[in-house]
Structure formats: structure tokens, C-alpha cells
Structure 1
């Protein structure tokens, strides 16, 4: 039997979230106001994480100004909390391009999503107790990406150093520094739909299908 490779076609998807973990970025403004930003553009290598945040977001502004943040990694149990935060922004007034997409201002995101702030060890922004993994980070460098169009301010790439990792006890291999990958299931964002390591859990308010 001859092996025939799969047939592919050329497409132009509106977004390229091909499957990345969701993160909730907690930051503080210079005035000490807490913000939580849902995002799904992050990757890690060694003790560094690189984040992609919308330049017009309050979380990005806070991170650039204070150079501190917590990268909180939710699991499937936090899916509803993530989606509750998805259409909100800490910016007031809401930027025009975000208003057009259905965003609204929310000052107290912890209360809205029913999440619990807990103190960090090395930095000022709080961690999110419900998230199984929490990374305290400090900003090392930032890079403003090219603007997409005249209405969208674009996004910023932020390189940060991980200062401390916090993990729920039940996902840590006993008597070790290792995550039990059989027990840890990240919340994944796949073309604006939420997945764990099993079936789909829900959909983002901006999902097209």
C-alpha cells in the first residue's frame, strides 16, 4: 500500500492562537491599583519568560512602569474566571478600538472573577491563589512590535526573569522540585476556544465559530 501524505490548503485565519497556555498577568499601577490581564502569548526558556501584551492594555502599562508582574497559570477549573475577565480592561476610558470589540472597564478584576489575591515573596503585585502555578517575574527588556493598522496601537514583547515559582502542592512530585505532569493540566487557548488536556471547556466571547 502506497503512503499518501495529507492534503493541505492555503488559508488566511484571522488569528493564530494555534494552541498556547492561558496566563493571568497580575500587576500594580504606580498608584498601587491591582490589575489582572488575561493573555495567551507567552513562552519560557530557562529562567526567562517572554510575554506579548497589547500596548494599550493597563497591564502592559503597569509592567513597563513598575517592571514587576506575576504570571499566573490557570488550570481548567479557572476557565470561567478567565472568560469573566476576557471582555474587561483596566483602562479608563476604554480605548476606542477595544470599545468596538465589546470591552468594558472593570476596576476590581479580582472580585469580578472571584479570585483571591495573595502576597508575593520578592515583588509587590499579588499572586492569584487559585492558579496552580504562579511565577514572580521582573522585566529585563521590552520591544514594541510594528503597528498592525492606524486604529490598533499594536503590542509589546516583554522579556522577564523568573524570580520565584509557586505551585499547588497537589501538582508537585513529593520531596522534589518537579511538577507532576500527570496531575498538572494547563488551560489552553486554541483559536479562541478553551481546552484542558481533554475536551473543550468553553469558548471566548470573540470566538468566530
Structure 2
């Protein structure tokens, strides 16, 4: 009888065009030079402590804004918001449209309106929060640098304030309830939510749902 280890060893070598192997979708709010809002979807973000690291296209409007104005809001949409995210996907706030986006993207200065989303004032930064997003992180870019290939910028953003839908917060605590919060996941250019809980880490400070 074949063991699971032996079965798993039979892999196929592939060359995917992208490596979005399942990361949360973020709606990134930044401020344009004229003080208006730019809102852009992105899927290369990870958090460590109070720092969120973002990967952005080097020629996009978000990258341009963060180089000049480091304040931002990292808005986390829920799975049901994927149509709004997709409405934003082919839009750019960069005028003229960058050469590599021409024919696929179009310039749109009114991103919130185009997506059908509502801006909310932030407390500590100038860019707006997205009202519909259950979790919103006000932040400041502490470091903005180009990656080794020159195709992306890597942003290290320090989170200054977290806004959470109270229905997602464990009562009497500062914890997001993982049984109630499901991020929108971008998995090889398809949108997903989370499945049922499988278990908990030994470091978890919230209850396990059975």
C-alpha cells in the first residue's frame, strides 16, 4: 500500500505566470498630489507585529503617492466585497496610463465612486478609510524602496490605529474573533473566502470554535 509520503513525492514541475498562492486582498488608500483620494486593490501584503509589508507596482499611482506622502490606510475587505474589488481592478489613478497598462487599464480619478464604496475620515492620517471594509489600518510608510529587479516597490508601513467592526471583536478584549472574521483571499487570480476552522495555534489568545 502506497504511503502518503510516497504519494506526495510525485510532483510535477510547472512554471506559473504568477505566484499569488493565496494572500488577503487589500484596498490601499493614499493621497494624490492635489489632495484627492486614490484607492487601489492589491494582494501582496503581510503583517509582522505592528508592521505591514506591501508590494506594489513601481509605476502605479499608489507607489508615486507613498514616495511623496507616506500616510495610508490599509483596508481589508470581506469576501462579499469582491465585486467592488474587481470594479477597481482595471482602473488606474495614474494619468497618463503607464505604458505597460495601456490597452488593459483606464484612467479613473474617482476610485471610491467607481467601486461603489464610501470614504470615511481617518483619525491620524489624511487618506480616507473604506466604510464597507470590516477592518481598517491607519498607517505610515516607514520605508519605501525598490525591489532588486526594479519592478516593484516594497513598503514597510507602521500601523498607527486599527478600526474593527465591533461584531468581529471578542467582547471585553482587544482581539479580532477569527471565527467571525473572514478576509477576502486572492488565490491565483481568483477570489475566495475562508473555510471552516481546522484548529488553533498554541499561541492563540482566542477560543476555538467547534
Cα deviation, residue 30, structure 1: 2.6
Which residue matches 1:94?
97
Would the aligned equivalents of 2:19 and 2:188 in 1 still touch at CA under 8 Å?
yes
Name which of 64, 74, 79 aligns with 1:71. 74
Which residue matches 2:172?
175
For residues 35-64 of structure 1, the C-alpha deviation after alignment (integer angstroms, 9 at most, x for no partner) is 001000000000001000111111111112
Name which of 141, 158, 162 aligns with 2:159. 162
Name which of 60, 63, 75 aligns with 1:57. 60
Would the aligned equivalents of 2:66 and 2:144 in 1 still touch at CA under 8 Å?
no
Cα deviation, residue 2, structure 1: 4.5
Residues in 2 aligned to 1:62 and 1:142: alpha-carbon distance in whole angstroms? 11
- Counterparts of 1:175-194 in structure 2 under 5 Å? 175-194=172-191
SS of aligned partner of 1:5: helix
SS of aligned partner of 2:7: coil
Would the aligned equivalents of 2:29 and 2:74 in 1 still touch at CA under 8 Å?
yes
Residues in 2 aligned to 1:64 and 1:33: alpha-carbon distance in whole angstroms? 16
SS of aligned partner of 1:81: helix
Which residue matches 2:200?
none
Normalising by structure 1, report the TM-score.
Answer: 0.89
Which residue matches 1:135?
137
Q: Select the structure of larger CA radius of gyration.
A: 2
Whether 1:8 aligns to 2:4 is no
Which residue matches 1:18?
21
Which residue matches 2:202?
none
Where does the alignment leave 5 or more consecutive residues of structure 2 unmatched? 197-210
SS of aligned partner of 2:102: helix
Residues in 1 aligned to 2:38 and 2:57: alpha-carbon distance in whole angstroms? 14
Residues in 1 aligned to 2:31 and 2:81: alpha-carbon distance in whole angstroms? 22
Which residue matches 1:204?
none
Name which of 112, 115, 118 aligns with 1:113. 115
